[in-house]
Amino acid sequence: MCNIKYYIKETEAYFAKTLGEDVALEPADKGLLEGLPISVSSNFSFYEGCLLRQSVLLAYIKDGDSVPPAQMKKLLDIIQRQTKLVVILITPCISSYNKVRLVAQKVNFVIPDKQMFLPSLLLDIKPDRKIGSDLKETIPHFAQCLLLYHLQISSIVGTSSYELSDKFGVSYATVNKSLRWLASKNLIKLEGVKTKTVQIELSNRELWYKALPMFVSPIEQLHYTDALLEGMMISGVNALASYTMLNEESRQCWAITKKELKNLNVVTDEQFGENEIQVWKYNPKMLSTEGVVDKLSLYLSLKDNEDERIQIELERLINAMSW
């Protein structure tokens, strides 16, 4: 397994290849880090150097998803205020969803040999996309729904695009693009001559953990209302409470589709209301018929919640999965 020194060398090589500049990165002087709270410094390994004539401090973390983006920004801001240097997050692994959130918060980060976003140095170098002009980096909504269906409800092994199109009531083009995306990420294989069918060599547990960095929250929009919705899928904290020992909240939360939102006969607001309405990227009823959203989508919708109680119950939820 590659260690931190390997990734620091990879970072130096990436700077050289991309910027044409030799950057020597050395372990940060201990005096530079004096005064940093241990709760901050313990998350990272620190290296310093000079990039584009600017002194920089690199904060390496093995798993970029281990700290929620909002919390990551707070930690890096504390380091920058203390050291008076431009601080750059270095990580070999982070999900597409969290990369987008880091960009939105203007956090400097580098993924060696893949992406460099350094707003403090006016640099934004994105990865080359080699998987086809019609395939985006972010997982298609239906592709995620399809894998979660396979993991929780029924195997999709041996099915074709036409069969999946009929089963889920979505267009052939949507299914085809989703399957090609999954194949491009080595999550599935497509085998056959005239009609290709889905093959999956990974166990369900292996598939979940391999796909997890690529999965995104199913929530596309949030609305609020004082009304109570009848017959809608329960989501949020109360859904987690139905699966775990967590106590229910008085605030209600439902997951619906865009079409259902348009047909609601209640007053909604984008900021104010007693209850929450989540508009999902895919139909939550595809993955559950019990009136409560499925466990894995629920996990993805709450995994960045900073409430420690919720994080504990989410961990228990995943550990209790019968893969």
Q: What is the dihedral of CA 259, 263, 267, 271, to 10 degrees?
A: 0
**297 pLDDT higher than 50:** yes
At 59, give phi and psi (nearest 5°): -110, 105
Domain 141-211 belongs to what topology? Arc Repressor Mutant, subunit A (1.10.10)
**219 pLDDT higher than 80:** yes
Angle at 203 between CA 245 and CA 220, to 5 degrees: 55
**133 pLDDT higher than 60:** no
Query: For residue range 254-263, what is the model confidence (pLDDT) as tens digits?
Result: 999 999 998 8
Most confident range (mean pLDDT) of 8-17, 118-127, 221-230 is 221-230
Whether 28 and 57 have beta carbons less than 8 Å apart is answered as yes
Overall average pLDDT of the 185-209 stretch: 91
> Which one, of 75, 126, 132, 120, lies nearest residue 99 by Cα?
126
Q: State the pLDDT confidence band at 154, using cuts at 50, 70 and 90.
A: very high
At 3, give phi and psi (nearest 5°): -105, -175
Q: How much of the chain, in percent, has pLDDT values that exceed 70?
A: 96
Average pLDDT of the chain, as a whole number: 91
Overall average pLDDT of the 5-30 stretch: 87
Distance of CA 280 to the CA centre of its chain: 15
Query: For residue range 95-131, what is the model confidence (pLDDT) as tens digits?
Result: 888 999 999 999 999 998 889 999 988 877 766 545 4
DSSP state of 18: H
User: Residue 131: its pLDDT value, please?
Assistant: 43
User: Residue 1: its pLDDT value, please?
Assistant: 39
User: Residue 137: its pLDDT value, please?
Assistant: 83
Q: State the pLDDT confidence band at 194, using cuts at 50, 70 and 90.
A: low
Overall average pLDDT of the 287-307 stretch: 95
The ranges assigned to domains in the chain are 4-125, 141-211, 219-316
User: Residue 102: its pLDDT value, please?
Assistant: 94
Report the run of H or E that residue 191 belongs to, with start and end.
Answer: strand 189-191
Most confident range (mean pLDDT) of 91-95, 173-177, 308-312 is 308-312
Please identify which residue in the block is written with the tokens 């949507």.
Answer: 174
User: Residue 96: its pLDDT value, please?
Assistant: 86
Query: For residue range 18-58, what is the model confidence (pLDDT) as tens digits?
Result: 877 788 999 999 899 998 999 999 999 999 999 888 899 99
In whole angstroms, give the CA distance from residue 161 to residue 174: 9
